[in-house]
Homo-oligomer: A and B are copies of this chain.
């Protein structure tokens, strides 16, 4: 487990490979973008000319790609990772995709004599950098055990959540719930503010009551009430609204195909779709508060005092 092929060197792949290199792994990277690959080489990743070349040289293959289609093509397409990796190789997909794709790929991998786990992450770029990601891992226990040193090089909390696909399912469950809670928190704040409440006091009370949730506690959507979160920085950084939308669409598809009631999730998904259409796709998902209330109007009436940068 010393040599790792890493396919997909984006905002997440770059810091993840840096942590792997620092932990002593040999990492062979590939990305369609030459610039991305160059950056990775800068912190010690070895350059491959193709995903296939990387896979052929590795004990473990990790993929971190944008969509299920990218993942399927990477594994099953011509010169795909299943075909080009060595027999017995451990394949690990950390993308956020539908578990139906995962299950299909894991079966194909097994049929070809490879092993596959799904290990999506939560925590975003900041925790990718600090090596404190949370991993939700699906697959056979022995494969998850084998991956443990790698997972620990990149993350802080490793949950083995079930069989193949369970990692991706867990991720979708969490993200649909976080979208619901964030959209609901935005509405509750809008309701209070429109009726004269101070959002800071309202938040303090709800944080100590049954309305408490991650948005109020650690990721507040109302500008000026919490430091170090996207709402403190014009909703830059964090988790883009269109990525949130992508995950909620996957969750909606999964709920629909498994015939699970998902009225709240469906609605939150459509609200994020409208929010993205309104021009906020690149802003952090907590910016959904703009759908529930007009922040500009609010701050026109409640100017932020002088010296503070908010």
Contact = CB atoms under 8 A, between A and B. Distances in A.
A174 interface: yes
Contact of A267 (B157, B188, B202, B263): B263
Interface stretch (A15-23, A38-46, A82-90, A206-214): A206-214
Contacts of A266: 252, 263, 266-267, 269-270
Contacts of A271: 263-264
Interface string A168-183: 0110111111101101
Contacts of A291: 261, 274
Contacts of A211: 173-175, 177-178, 181, 214
A260 interface: yes
B191 A255 contact: yes
A172 B265 CA distance: 22
A184 interface: yes
Interface string A116-147: 00000010000000000010100000000000
A49 interface: no
Given A162-B197, A266-B270, A210 B178 contact: yes
A187 B263 contact: yes
A32 interface: no
A263 B195 CA distance: 17
Interface string A248-260: 0101111111111
Contact of A208 (B157, B184, B213): B157
A303 interface: no
Contact of A214 (B189, B213, B267): B213
Interface string A204-231: 1110111111100101000000000000
A198 B266 CA distance: 23
A201 B137 CA distance: 11
A287 B215 CA distance: 24
11 contacts: A161-B198, A169-B197, A170-B197, A176-B187, A176-B191, A180-B187, A180-B264, A191-B262, A252-B256, A264-B264, A274-B274
Given A174-B211, A190-B260, A252-B266, 11 more contacts: A99-B195, A157-B208, A161-B205, A170-B192, A170-B197, A188-B265, A191-B255, A209-B214, A210-B219, A260-B293, A261-B293
